[in-house]
């Protein structure tokens, strides 16, 4: 008799859908919420039950009540919006961690402030150790010193406060750096040093280096620092790397990010991630692209490096990262026609097309996805051509899901090719609004209108468009990029080519289901579906229905990763806003910190470094 009742209860539950085994309690139940699942079979719900790191049921509060046992933790969502955990589609994981340890110069209002901050840093750092900074941009300064060369000061005053420390300060773009006298000396750069191919040592009227090093001219300084760092004991290096991981994790989890596409890392760093993941010490799930390896190294190591959902779905490696051009801000994006404000130049290819093609052939032979940084319209066209050629003869190219990272400026003729080839446009919503104010200066009105950050055109043409921030180039905040994607609102309140806006649902999908798709992970991530990983974010406001200008004041209240609450917004800090959040007037009384961000680099390493 009892058996028959039990069978009847099970049958009822199957009919009710989503409560397949009600008598095994959940570890965690979220209830009383506005649950947007992004699963078309059940788009809306009130409650979710989680067990053993997975979603076991989604439904009404009544459906889910049966999953609450004596040891089940419950969270009352009080009507708040619960979504699949955000997936950062393109960022630099170790770079994010490191960026938290170097001087953040993004808000410096003038050169004096930078000199003062470096001076303060020298007082706590051992003489001889390197002081690094990042994020300065001369166009954000109130004034530029009179002795400036090419709009940037000379190193004299900086060197005066740091005679015993090499100092290197990366430009916001990553495409230039500013070095003091000691760093130039360590790098062996003086008035007799010729400009390297692909780089420029900026000099004053007397021929002396000013400290500004463009593009590949940064390398000797980077190398000098690496030589000095290489002398350190392994334990110090390891401790520093682990610190980067912790800092990155803290930042991402507070922003509702549960998975992160790392674009990309060396084989050595991937081994490090693998060790951490094996010990359960990766704070978020990583989808890592292999970067910076020679053809020979790719041939040798790709097969052994492949990981899919390793260590409980914390580490996947099945893609490589390539980079064909530079960035628009530094005139490094490779264009079909010259720059409006630099008519002598169409930018340049950082990697020869033939090299890109050879890497792509190696990748396809090993079943790897290829994700190539392309910003200019020429760069995008060349990459599409390479992909098309390499796909020829492949039965189902769309299944390869190859990506173009940034896909920022696209000739209208090339827009339909993304969908036709099944190439994913891996874009960053927030770049459009960071850059929008100065893009027309580089490209002119017509090219801007027809080809700049054209995610609407790509979507209409049937392409998959994903989203992210390129952190640490931008703050990792998904809500900022979501807001940029749906508003294209610039700091001055105007909208940047507003007909390219995404709908809110499109923007949400670009951060969840589509980023999962772009990593071949749609079976386990991207929607709140029973059986998938229990990665969830709870927001303070319903970003799908509140007035648009209220989106920026939305906060992450909970982040749940693998069924555990890993972030809870501290009480009484409702107005807390992370530094670098740059979405203008709507953010309360925070100063609108939207300067002309130069460029969209892959800023971790100068181009060509590997
Ligand atoms: Zn990048």
- How would DSSP label each residue in 536-593? EEEESS-TTTS-GGGGGG--EEEEEETTEEEEEPPTT-TT---TT---GGGSTTS---
Query: How many Å lie between the centroid of ligand 1 and the Cα of residue 289?
Result: 11
- The region, left, alpha or beta by phi > 0 then psi within -120 to 50, assigned to residue 11 is alpha
Contact 169, 105 (CB under 8 A): yes
Query: How many Å lie between the centroid of ligand 1 and the Cα of residue 468?
Result: 10
Mean pLDDT, residues 224-230:
91
Query: How many Å lie between the centroid of ligand 1 and the Cα of residue 547?
Result: 31
Contact 53, 563 (CB under 8 A): yes
Query: How many Å lie between the centroid of ligand 1 and the Cα of residue 248?
Result: 15
List, as ranges, residues with CB under 5 A of the ion ligand 1: 263, 470, 602
DSSP 252: H
Query: How many Å lie between the centroid of ligand 1 and the Cα of residue 264?
Result: 8
Angstrom distances, CA of residue 269 to CA of 42, 265, 275, 293: 40, 6, 10, 12
pLDDT value at position 572? 62
Two tokens at 391?
Answer: 């796909």
What distance lies between CA 482 and its chain's CA centroid? 13
Question: Is a pLDDT exceeding 90 seen at residue 361?
Answer: yes
Among the listed residues 434, 469, 386, the one whose alpha carbon sits nearest the alpha carbon of residue 593: 434
Q: 233 or 446, which is more confident?
A: 446
Sequential DSSP letters for 320-331: EEEE-B--TTTT
Contact 528, 84 (CB under 8 A): yes
Q: 145 or 200, which is more confident?
A: 200
Query: How many Å lie between the centroid of ligand 1 and the Cα of residue 607?
Result: 11
Query: How many Å lie between the centroid of ligand 1 and the Cα of residue 491?
Result: 23
**Which secondary-structure segment (H or E) carries 192?**
none
Query: How many Å lie between the centroid of ligand 1 and the Cα of residue 396?
Result: 28
Query: How many Å lie between the centroid of ligand 1 and the Cα of residue 263?
Result: 6
Label residue 388 by pLDDT band (50, 70, 90): very high
Query: How many Å lie between the centroid of ligand 1 and the Cα of residue 253?
Result: 20
Q: How far apart are CA 163 and CA 115, in angstroms?
A: 12
- Phi, psi (degrees; rounded to nearest 5) at 275: -65, -45
- For residue 203, give the 3-state DSSP assignment: strand
pLDDT value at position 597? 31
- Span 546-577, pLDDT tens digits: 999 999 999 999 999 999 999 999 986 443 33
Q: Which residue has the tokens 């954000």?
A: 140
Question: Is a pLDDT exceeding 70 seen at residue 481?
Answer: yes
Query: How many Å lie between the centroid of ligand 1 and the Cα of residue 89?
Result: 10
Query: How many Å lie between the centroid of ligand 1 and the Cα of residue 473?
Result: 8
Angstrom distances, CA of residue 62 to CA of 18, 19, 513: 12, 11, 27
pLDDT value at position 15? 43
Q: How far apart are CA 527 and CA 535, in angstroms?
A: 9
Query: How many Å lie between the centroid of ligand 1 and the Cα of residue 370?
Result: 14
pLDDT value at position 101? 81
Predicted TM-score (pTM) above 0.75: yes
Contact 326, 607 (CB under 8 A): yes
Least confident of 114-128, 200-214, 252-266, 462-476: 114-128
pLDDT value at position 605? 30
Radius of gyration of the CA atoms of the chain, in A = 25
- State the chain's mean pLDDT as an integer: 89
Label residue 348 by pLDDT band (50, 70, 90): confident
Mean pLDDT, residues 533-550:
98
pLDDT value at position 233? 87
Q: 292 or 10, which is more confident?
A: 292
Mean pLDDT, residues 250-256:
98
Among the listed residues 128, 97, 387, the one whose alpha carbon sits nearest the alpha carbon of residue 262: 97
- The region, left, alpha or beta by phi > 0 then psi within -120 to 50, assigned to residue 120 is alpha
Among the listed residues 219, 208, 281, 294, the one whose alpha carbon sits nearest the alpha carbon of residue 245: 281
Question: Is a pLDDT exceeding 90 seen at residue 181?
Answer: yes
Least confident of 189-198, 528-537, 599-608: 599-608
- Span 66-122, pLDDT tens digits: 999 999 999 999 999 999 999 999 999 999 998 888 899 989 999 999 999 999 989
Question: Is a pLDDT exceeding 80 seen at residue 586?
Answer: no
Q: How far apart are CA 296 and CA 305, in angstroms?
A: 14
- Span 417-472, pLDDT tens digits: 999 999 999 999 999 999 999 999 999 999 999 999 999 999 999 999 999 999 99
Q: How far apart are CA 119 and CA 113, in angstroms?
A: 10
Contact 424, 464 (CB under 8 A): yes
Task: Provide the percentage of residues in the chain whose pLDDT is more than 90.
Answer: 80
Query: How many Å lie between the centroid of ligand 1 and the Cα of residue 325?
Result: 12
Q: How far apart are CA 133 and CA 140, in angstroms?
A: 16
Query: How many Å lie between the centroid of ligand 1 and the Cα of residue 610?
Result: 15
- Span 486-511, pLDDT tens digits: 999 999 999 999 999 999 999 999 99
pLDDT value at position 143? 87
Least confident of 9-18, 115-124, 272-281, 574-583: 574-583
Q: How far apart are CA 237 and CA 269, in angstroms?
A: 12
Label residue 23 by pLDDT band (50, 70, 90): low
Q: How far apart are CA 426 and CA 480, in angstroms?
A: 17
Mean pLDDT, residues 475-484:
98
Q: How far apart are CA 546 and CA 320, in angstroms?
A: 39
Two tokens at 218?
Answer: 């940064």
- For residue 165, give the 3-state DSSP assignment: coil
pLDDT value at position 173? 84
- Phi, psi (degrees; rounded to nearest 5) at 568: -135, 130
Query: How many Å lie between the centroid of ligand 1 and the Cα of residue 508?
Result: 21
Query: How many Å lie between the centroid of ligand 1 and the Cα of residue 437?
Result: 21
Among the listed residues 136, 142, 262, 127, the one whose alpha carbon sits nearest the alpha carbon of residue 182: 127
Angstrom distances, CA of residue 81 to CA of 46, 243, 362, 538, 540: 9, 32, 44, 6, 7
Query: How many Å lie between the centroid of ligand 1 and the Cα of residue 49?
Result: 36
């Amino acid at each position: 008799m009892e058996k028959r009742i039990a069978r009847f209860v099970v049958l009822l539950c199957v009919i009710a859908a989503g409560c397949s085994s009600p008598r095994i309690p959940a570890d965690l139940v979220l209830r009383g919420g506005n649950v947007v699942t992004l699963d078309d079979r059940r788009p809306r719900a009130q409650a979710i039950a989680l067990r053993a790191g997975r979603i076991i049921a989604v439904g009404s509060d009544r459906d889910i009540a049966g999953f609450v046992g004596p040891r089940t933790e419950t969270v009352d969502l009080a009507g708040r919006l619960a979504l699949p955990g955000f997936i950062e589609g393109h960022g630099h994981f170790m770079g994010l961690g490191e960026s938290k340890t170097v001087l953040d110069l993004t808000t410096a209002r003038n050169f004096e402030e930078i000199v003062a901050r470096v001076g303060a840093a020298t007082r706590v750092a051992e003489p001889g150790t390197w002081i690094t900074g990042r994020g300065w941009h001369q166009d954000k300064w109130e004034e530029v010193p009179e002795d400036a060369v090419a709009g940037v000061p000379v190193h004299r005053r900086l060197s005066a406060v740091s005679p015993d420390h090499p100092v290197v300060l990366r430009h916001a773009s990553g495409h230039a750096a500013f070095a003091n006298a000691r760093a130039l000396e360590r790098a062996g750069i003086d008035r007799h040093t010729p400009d390297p191919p692909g780089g420029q040592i900026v000099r004053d009227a007397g021929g002396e280096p000013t400290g500004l090093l463009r593009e590949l001219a940064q390398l000797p300084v980077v190398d000098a620092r690496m030589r000095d760092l290489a002398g350190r004991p392994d334990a110090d290096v390891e401790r520093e790397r682990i610190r980067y991981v912790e800092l990155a994790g803290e930042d991402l989890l507070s922003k509702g990010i549960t998975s992160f596409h790392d674009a990309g890392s060396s084989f050595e760093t991937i081994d490090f991630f693998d060790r951490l993941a094996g010990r359960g010490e990766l704070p978020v799930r990583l989808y890592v692209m292999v970067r910076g390896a020679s053809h020979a190294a790719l041939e040798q190591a790709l097969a052994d490096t492949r990981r899919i959902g390793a260590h409980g779905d914390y580490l996947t490696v099945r893609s490589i990262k390539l980079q064909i051009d530079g960035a628009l801000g530094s005139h490094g994006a490779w264009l079909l026609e010259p720059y409006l404000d630099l008519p002598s130049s169409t930018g340049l290819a950082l990697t020869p097309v033939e090299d890109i093609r050879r890497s792509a052939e190696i990748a396809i032979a090993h079943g790897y996805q290829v994700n190539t940084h392309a910003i200019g319209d020429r760069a995008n066209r060349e990459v599409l051509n390479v992909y098309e050629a390499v796909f020829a003869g492949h039965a189902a190219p769309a299944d390869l899901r190859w990506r173009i990272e940034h896909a920022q400026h696209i000739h209208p003729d090339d827009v339909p090719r993304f969908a036709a080839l099944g190439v994913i446009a891996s874009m960053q919503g927030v770049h459009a609004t960071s850059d929008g104010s100065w893009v027309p200066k580089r490209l002119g009105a017509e090219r801007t209108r027809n080809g700049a950050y054209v995610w609407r055109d790509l979507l209409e043409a049937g392409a998959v468009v994903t989203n992210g921030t390129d952190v640490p180039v931008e703050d990792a905040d998904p809500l900022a990029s979501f807001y940029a994607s749906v508003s294209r609102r610039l700091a001055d309140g105007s909208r940047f080519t507003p007909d390219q806006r995404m709908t809110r649902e499109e923007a949400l999908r670009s951060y969840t289901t589509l980023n999962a798709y772009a990593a071949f992970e749609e079976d386990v991530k991207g929607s709140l579906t029973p059986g998938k990983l229990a990665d969830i974010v709870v927001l303070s406001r319903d970003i799908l229905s509140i007035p648009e200008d209220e989106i920026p004041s939305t906060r992450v209240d909970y982040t749940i990763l693998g069924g555990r609450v890993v972030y809870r917004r501290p009480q009484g800090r409702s107005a807390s806003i992370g530094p670098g959040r740059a979405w203008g007037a709507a953010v309360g009384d925070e100063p609108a910190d939207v300067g002309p961000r130069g460029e969209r680099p892959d800023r971790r390493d100068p181009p060509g470094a590997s």
